[in-house]
A = this chain, B = another copy of it.
Amino acid sequence: MSRRLNVGIIGAGRIGKVHAEAIAFSIPEAALVAIADVQAEAARAVAERCRIPRVAATADEILRDSSIDAVLICSPTDTHADLVVEAARFGKHIFCEKPIALSLDQIDRALDAVDKAQVKLQVGFNRRFDPNFMRVRVAIASGEIGTPHLLHIISRDPGPPPISYVRSSGGMFLDMAIHDFDMARFLIDDEVTQVYAAAGVRVDPEIGRAGDVDTAVTVLHFANGVFGTIDNCRKASYGYDQRAEVLGSAGAIATENVFPNRAVISTAEAVRRDLPLNFFMERYAESFRNELHAFVDAVVGDKPVPVTGADARASVVIALAAQKSHEERRPVRLEEISQVIAATGL
């Protein structure tokens, strides 16, 4: 494929804009040809910023455009599964923001459609493409720290989302910790078999009244014997806290947070530095570009995508198990989730 990959974008919100800029400004192998959003003004703004020639009236218009090779699905979560099914039907390669859906049967329907259409589907677990976590993956994959034994992930937001968001989010495990479940699978490169989660409401009682938790620790049992712990909180007063540590038979690797500068200030009060990058748009800016590069590479070079539909499904299963563990106050095997689903069509 010597010509540029023609890309259409569905959704011109915050993340749609990020992906549009990545394609427009750092991926010469791809060209943005159309964008659609239910809010036409948003689509027009991104189109102007990123010099996208056409603002489509609907997502459908983009899917039916035969000049378009691939679509980026950046619309609200509850539209993802249907759009994946439709895009697959029209033979488009698909980059879909996470999660594909909050229920496994919808995910499975989408993955089936992708499978039948033989198109590529990459899911937006962008943190895999962060240079820090990539370095951890390399340390494990290369044997630099030997066989992994223990994993610890810290993942805390600078503050909780609005209560309205919490209510429709699917809960902290499906909405927030899901990134960490994917990270755990990515770093250890193995499957989780059992989950134990302990969670509570520490940050805001309103979150509890909305039926959710805001603070949790989760223990992951991997098939290969590794144990992982994940430490989640909806609020870290000092900002976004995103770290991982792995102990292996020959050493350990740990990542620190990312700061806006490398200055250390010493005064009569303290030796201090500025706060870490506050949230994901800054903290993961590079990873967003990297994941799009990887997607374009996979499509153009007809290579496997680095984050598959199966990956997306697996993290949802872990999240459902974590939620169940929290509710039933016992460890939950992942096969229980599949059995429940088979039985009930959850």
Which residues of A does B touch, CB under 8 Å? 24-26, 28, 49, 51, 131-132, 134-136, 139, 144-147, 149-150, 152, 154, 156, 196, 198-200, 202-203, 215-217, 219, 221, 225, 227-229, 231, 233, 235-238, 241, 245, 247, 249-276, 329-331
Among A145, A227, A228, the most chain B Cβ lie within 10 Å of the Cβ of A227
Chain B nearest CB, measured from A206 CB (Å): 15
Quick one: copies of this chain in the complex?
A: 4
Q: Is the CB of A136 within 8 A of B247?
A: no
Chain B nearest CB, measured from A173 CB (Å): 14
Q: Is the CB of A247 within 8 A of B254?
A: no
In the bound complex, residues from chain B placing their C-beta under 8 Å from that of A331 are 196, 329-331
In the bound complex, residues from chain B placing their C-beta under 8 Å from that of A237 are 146, 249-251, 266-268
Bound Cα distance A236, B248 (Å): 8
Contact of A254 among B134, B156, B233, B264 (CB under 8 A): B264
Chain B nearest CB, measured from A4 CB (Å): 12
In the bound complex, residues from chain B placing their C-beta under 8 Å from that of A202 are 147, 149, 225, 249
Bound Cα distance A276, B251 (Å): 13
Known: A215-B150, A231-B247, A275-B271. A252 touches B236 (CB 8 A): yes
Q: Is the CB of A267 within 8 A of B250?
A: yes
In the bound complex, residues from chain B placing their C-beta under 8 Å from that of A330 are 330-331
In the bound complex, residues from chain B placing their C-beta under 8 Å from that of A268 are 237-238, 250-251, 275
Contact of A238 among B203, B258, B267 (CB under 8 A): B267
Q: Is the CB of A267 within 8 A of B150?
A: no
Q: Is the CB of A227 within 8 A of B253?
A: no
A-B residue pairs in contact (CB < 8 Å), sample of 24: A51-B51, A131-B260, A132-B263, A149-B202, A152-B229, A196-B219, A202-B249, A215-B227, A217-B227, A217-B228, A238-B252, A238-B267, A238-B268, A250-B268, A252-B266, A253-B265, A255-B261, A255-B264, A257-B262, A269-B275, A270-B270, A271-B274, A330-B330, A330-B331
